[in-house]
Structure 1
Amino acid sequence: MPAPTTSAAPATPGVAATAVPAAPAPAPTVHHRALYTWLAVYPTITLASVLTAPHTTHLPVYLRTGLLVTLVVPVVVYGLMPALLKGHTAAAGRRAARRTRLARR
């Protein structure tokens, strides 16, 4: 039995591949990361504190704090920070594209 052959699509003559991969967006600066962390942590702690306060007033402060940290850290680390950093990456890409368009003029 003959071996199966694969056929590649013929290349279009005179057309060169010109696609250049886009450069990755720069990482946010330390100041941006601090701002994003504050934007994620402060409202989350405030909301969690307000929602849990009626149920935790009888607990000592260290247990209330431990409960808040247990609730807030995963929400911030796995939910809010990736979303904020994704927004940063999108905004950085838009800024880079705008600078490129303006430089071509």
Structure 2
Amino acid sequence: METAPGPTVLTPPAATAQLPAPPSVHVRAVITWLAIFPLVTLGMMASAPLTEGWHPVFKALALTLVVVPTAVYLVVPRMMRAHASLSRRRPRA
């Protein structure tokens, strides 16, 4: 009769690099705002001729359908990487 093997325990290697702490919620909020504000501004200016007679709710819907995915998938991740890179270079006091 065979016995079932015990649970597999994964142990990290001894020389694991320490992961940097994620930025605070306040830093993430500022980075997100810095991404959203220019996208909304450019989106409003670019869509103004196309959405001239639209109800404001539909204008906001069309704008956010473009701005939110652009910010979430493209702009904010790049800005977060840039922030991480800059904060790694800055000497700690």
Q: TM-score w.r.t. structure 1 length?
A: 0.69
Match of 2:34 among 32, 35, 39: 39
TM-align CA RMSD: 1.8
- CA–CA distance in structure 2, aligned partners of residues 45 and 24 of structure 1: 33
Q: Which runs of 5+ in 1 are unaligned?
A: 1-19
Q: Provide TM-score, normalisation by structure 2.
A: 0.77
Q: Deviations along 1:9-58, whole A, 9 cap, x unmatched? A: xxxxxxxxxxx443212101111011101100000000000000011011
CA-CA distance at 1:92 after TM superposition: 2.5
Partners in 2 of 1:48 and 1:93 — Cα distance? 33
Q: Aligned equivalents of 1:31 and 1:92: distance in 2? A: 15
Identity in percent = 34
Match of 1:72 among 58, 62, 67: 67
* Aligned-partner residue type, residue 46 of structure 2: L
> 1:88 is aligned with what amino acid?
H
Q: State yes or no: 1:63 paired with 2:55.
A: no
Tell me how many residue pairs correspond in the alignment: 80
**1:83 equivalenced with 2:89 (yes/no):** no
Give the C-alpha shift of residue 75 in structure 1. Answer: 0.6
Aligned partner of 1:26 among 21, 27, 46: 21
Unaligned runs of 5+ in 2: 1-14
Q: Please state whether the residue corresponding to 1:24 is helix, strand or coil.
A: coil
| Runs of 4+ off more than 4 Å | none
CA distance in 1, matches of 2:16, 2:88: 13
| Greater C-alpha Rg | 1
